[in-house]
Amino acid sequence: MSLALHSRSWSTAPPIVTHVILALIIPGVGLTTVLLILYGYAAWSPVSRRYLDRVSFRLLTYALIAHLCFGILFTIGALTTYPGRRCALLSFLSNLTLVFSAGMFFSIAINLPLVLAFNVNGLKMEKYYVIGILLISIVSNLAPYVSGHLGWDDVNETCWYRGRDPSAILRWLVGTQTAWILFASMGEVGSFIIIVGYLVMYKLVPEDTPTSTPPYRAGSTILRFRNIILRIGLYPIVSCVLNISTTVIEFHLFQTHHKNVEASQQKNWRLGLADLSIYAGRPLIYGLLAATDPSFIRAVRALHHSEDKSESVSQISTPGLEMSTIIYLPQDEISINEQNKDTQGSKMEAQIGGDETSTTSTPDTNPEMGKHQVAGHLRFPV
């Protein structure tokens, strides 16, 4: 949650707060609900199941479920608040779902370098991601809830952290919510940097490369992988923008909330509205990112063309109940072909493109054992 608009009495149009929150939260909750329904149907259908059969997609689903709960709880807490036990419970659940969703996106980010660069088993790590983030979310928010530091705040007139000492409230906020969310954002950025470095070094220093092969430049490698780098970097960029913005705004409001100057109250009211807008817009922003997930788009296309290609699809081997972290890469994605496709003698040629059917895992390959070679390709497990 965020600081309430405790200076909202300054505004000549208090309904604007309700209108802004509802204008952002309703599309976000609606989009997230539709996406989860489509995800469930696509995962259930044998035609599209293989495109969604990876660890990162399931983690994304958990994050969307948390965002759906957060959107509902945030709306109730921001628009229909009053003192009581229900107020403290709303604060606890909304903060828990917020931290959990941030942790799931952090898990998605670190899963890729762990599996690709460090050869970690992605499937085995999935349960540790979920259990670890869930425990952190519960413990970090259970402490203020049990100690009575969550509930109705008379100063801010909202269900949030409460107390007479602003510095004590700030310590609870930082220790139980802000620090974890910022850590998750920084972890996403760090994972993105590792992946970019891995792509560059993998191309610059391939194994068993003849000495006569000319070296690759980092700039050309990044340019070659620009679509992949952009896609991987979207979530860290969004996380940093949203989380750092809310942190800066809330710290500023903590420092200036005691000032009674009208100009200061006007500025704080606007900042508080911006803070609430960012929180209310989280489900919508992440929902739009999830709707453009390449695997989800391929699954929808498979469902759309299932009638015309039912015979050919039935001949494709699907992995059944086995879970995978493999991204099945279409023409706009990447596979690293270890065979020489050009005249330069390199054994590792990065390709933008490929056939969807050619990237299907073979039955005798364990797709969860980190980076692996299937039919001469090094896949990007996520």
pLDDT at 41: 94
pLDDT at 359: 33
11 vs 240, more confident: 240
151 vs 349, more confident: 151
Q: Which helix (H) or strand (E) holds 347?
A: none
- Any bridge partners for residue 161, and if so which? 150
**Distance in angstroms (rounded) separating the CA atoms of residues 301 and 15:** 43
Average pLDDT rounded to a whole number, residues 235-250: 91
**Residue 260 Cα to chain centre, angstroms:** 39
pLDDT digits (tens, 9 = 90+) for 183-232: 999 999 999 999 888 887 765 555 555 544 555 565 566 677 777 778 88
pLDDT at 333: 39
Residue pointed to by tokens 């933008």: 352
**Distance in angstroms (rounded) separating the CA atoms of residues 111 and 325:** 9
**Distance in angstroms (rounded) separating the CA atoms of residues 161 and 150:** 5
pLDDT at 357: 32
pLDDT at 125: 94
- Any bridge partners for residue 337, and if so which? 349, 377
174 vs 378, more confident: 174
pLDDT digits (tens, 9 = 90+) for 262-275: 666 778 788 888 88
- Any bridge partners for residue 373, and if so which? 378
Do 32 and 68 contact (CB within 8 A), yes or no? yes
pLDDT at 223: 74
**Distance in angstroms (rounded) separating the CA atoms of residues 49 and 302:** 10
218 vs 362, more confident: 218
Hey, is 247 helix, strand or coil? Answer: helix
**Distance in angstroms (rounded) separating the CA atoms of residues 204 and 109:** 24
Phi-psi group of 117: left, alpha or beta (phi > 0 → left; psi -120 to 50 → alpha; rest → beta) = alpha
| pLDDT above 80 (res 134) | yes
**Distance in angstroms (rounded) separating the CA atoms of residues 280 and 267:** 20
pLDDT digits (tens, 9 = 90+) for 47-87: 999 999 889 999 999 999 999 999 998 888 777 667 778 88
pLDDT at 156: 63
pLDDT digits (tens, 9 = 90+) for 142-196: 999 998 888 887 766 677 788 777 778 888 888 899 999 999 999 999 999 998 8
pLDDT at 332: 40
200 vs 324, more confident: 200
- The domains of the chain are located at 8-324
Average pLDDT rounded to a whole number, residues 350-355: 33
| pLDDT above 90 (res 374) | no
Average pLDDT rounded to a whole number, residues 276-280: 90
Task: Name the CATH code of domain 8-324 (choices 3.40.50.970, 3.90.45.10, 1.10.10.10, 1.20.1070.10).
Answer: 1.20.1070.10
Query: For residue 369, with 0-12 CB atoms within 10 Å meaning exposed, 13-18 middle and 19 or more buried, which class applies?
Result: middle
Tell me the residue ranges of DSSP E strands in 118-185: 150-153, 158-161
